[in-house]
Amino acid sequence: MASFRAQKIAKKKQEILRSAAAVLAEKGYQGTTMEEIAAKLLMTKGSMYYYFKNKDDLLYQCHQMIMEISLERMEEVVNSNLSPVEKLRNAIKGHILLATSEKSMFMVMDKPNQNFTDEQLKEVLEVRKNYSHYFDRILIEGIDSKVFNPVDVRMVRMIILGALNWIQQWYNQEGPQSAEEISDAFADYLLKMVVKEH
Amino acid sequence: MASFRAQKIAKKKQEILRSAAAVLAEKGYQGTTMEEIAAKLLMTKGSMYYYFKNKDDLLYQCHQMIMEISLERMEEVVNSNLSPVEKLRNAIKGHILLATSEKSMFMVMDKPNQNFTDEQLKEVLEVRKNYSHYFDRILIEGIDSKVFNPVDVRMVRMIILGALNWIQQWYNQEGPQSAEEISDAFADYLLKMVVKEH
DNA sequence: CATATATTTAACCCATAGGTAAAAAAATAA
DNA sequence: TTATTTTTTTACCTATGGGTTAAATATATG
């Protein structure tokens, strides 16, 4: 069991990560200073180094935090007993809903090979690979059960992930369409690429 | 007529921009130093300031350079007398072929609101708006002439541009598929979203 | 209350990188 | 060849920001 202290520290870390993500998303990794992040939380730079080894550790943990959540949700969908069509729809919708509600966190994940150390990058790419692999599994399942056209899985996955990840670039809360509406529309259109007509 | 000097300077500027784009793409704006860019061209930092006002001027001109080319090509497609289906296919393929052959240049365009000054950003967003507007025009033309389904133009445009712009994140020359193959596949799949069955 | 431990702060160090200016070197003109 | 202009370089200034450390403060424990 995690000690009381450990829990308290973990909570504080999360607090920092969330706040840091907002700044990182707005200014980019190199454009963000540790002092800025600290100031936003009414603490000093030195205090941050009590919780995080250094700046890229902060970025790394931001990345892993959001990927963990993403993976969890994706696993739920993939392991459900929905049809491939509904699995794909849910995967798309789930991604969009999470990416829009946690926009900052998702933006932090952009351009991974620019700011991570080699070891971090290895981990990061690994976990991302797992995530995209889930899309492949759904696609293959649909193809095998003849409800999807025999598409090029890699290409289609790239199209889907591209469309989804691009949303961060243009989505804003005050836009004409809600995240819910966007996710429905995206799912509808993207499914048309793969679902067989009948 | 442009003087001999002016031409010579323009040529040198382009040379710098191309080389700068490569570094900027790899390390990001804030991660790139003027010295690095200069060194790659076997010149010194000071010399760069003879051609460019400052660092963000360099980035800005990189952006405008590639957008100019993109817009030109897009205009050719839109103003051709192809069918909407073929126009869309060509627009998609053209974008991908350019984005892959000029990968660095395109990567520089990412996250515009992070590194530009206010005035620059205004121009940048304007020219990008023009570009995406061309996609809208093609889509509307197809819908009006009943060859496309009555799709939500904004949503479909976002999906297409997302899929296309994401390519920079994963494409590499040595990959299993050539840019030509990728562009064909993308065009095929994306067209399925909008073209009516018959 | 006293002592030990955990957390925060303030003050500092230092390398880096954007930008400048004046001198040196190249190129061009006369 | 000399004078003039253009281009490049060298040396410098300065602010910034990541990271460290020792002291101060807060928190818990006996």
Mean pLDDT along residues A89-105: 97
**Across chain B, where does the E strand assignment appear?**
none
Q: How many CB atoms lie within 10 A of CB B156?
A: 24
The average pLDDT across B85-102 equals 98
Phi, psi for A160 (deg, rounded to 5): -65, -50
- Reduce the DSSP state of residue B17 to 3 states and report it: helix
Distance from CA(A46) to C1'(C13), angstroms, rounded: 14
Q: Is B33 on the interface with A (CB under 8 A)?
A: no
Query: Is A136 near chain B, with CB under 8 Å?
Result: no
Percent of chain A at pLDDT exceeding 70: 97
pLDDT of residue B154: 98
Q: What is the pLDDT at residue B139?
A: 98
pLDDT of B23 reads 97
How far does the CA of residue A8 sit from the closest CA of chain B (Å)?
Answer: 34
pLDDT tens per residue, range A23-62: 999 999 999 999 999 999 999 999 999 999 999 999 999 9
Enumerate the residues of chain A whose CB falls inside 8 A of the CB of residue B110: 110-111
Q: A100-116: per-residue pLDDT in tens? A: 999 999 999 999 999 99
The pLDDT assigned to A178 comes to 98
**Rounded distance in angstroms from the CA atom of residue B33 to the C1' atom of nucleotide D21:** 31
Question: Within an 8 Å CB–CB cutoff, is residue A192 touching chain B?
Answer: yes
Chain A residues whose beta carbon lies within 8 Å of the beta carbon of residue B115:
28, 31
A9 is near strand C: CB distance < 7 Å: yes
User: What integer is the mean pLDDT of B172-182?
Assistant: 96
pLDDT band with cut points at 50, 70 and 90 for residue A176: very high
Mean pLDDT of the region A14-21: 95
* Rounded Cα–Cα distance for residues B132 and B55 (Å): 27
Q: Give residue B2's pLDDT.
A: 56
Residue B1: what pLDDT? 42
Average pLDDT, chain A: 95
Closest nucleotide (C1' vs CA) to A32 is: D17
A125 touching B (Cβ < 8 Å): no
B14 contact A CB<8A: no
pLDDT given at position A1: 42
Q: Is the CB of B52 under 7 A from strand C?
A: no
The separation between the first and the last C-alpha atoms of chain B, rounded to the nearest angstrom, is 55
Q: Is A126 helix (H, G, I), strand (E, B) or coil?
A: helix
Question: pLDDT category, A2, cuts 50, 70, 90?
Answer: low
Instruction: Please give the model's pTM, rounded to 2 decimal places.
Output: 0.94
Quote the distance between the C-alpha of residue B11 and its chain's center.
Answer: 21
Asked whether residue A37's C-beta has any atom of DNA/RNA strand D within 7 A, the reply is: no
Question: What confidence tens digit (pLDDT) does each residue in B17-44 have?
Answer: 999 999 999 999 999 999 999 999 999 9
Q: Does the CB of A6 sit below 7 A from strand D?
A: no
pLDDT in tens, A156-167: 999 999 999 999
| C-beta pairs of B7-16 under 8 Å, 24+ apart in sequence | B9/B51, B12/B51, B13/B51, B13/B52, B13/B61, B14/B65, B15/B41, B16/B41, B16/B48, B16/B51, B16/B52, B16/B58
B4 touches strand D (CB under 7 A): no
Task: Tell me the torsion sign for CA atoms A41, A44, A47, A51.
Answer: positive
Say if B165 is an interface residue toward chain A (CB within 8 Å). yes
Chain D, protein-covered positions (CB within 7 A): 6-11, 16-22
- pLDDT reported for residue B3: 72
| Partner residue opposite B159 with nearest CB, options A110, A111, A163 | A163
Provide mean pLDDT across the span B156-164: 98
Mean pLDDT of B64-93: 98
> Which pLDDT band holds residue B71 (cuts at 50, 70, 90)?
very high
Confidence tier at B4 by pLDDT (50, 70, 90): confident
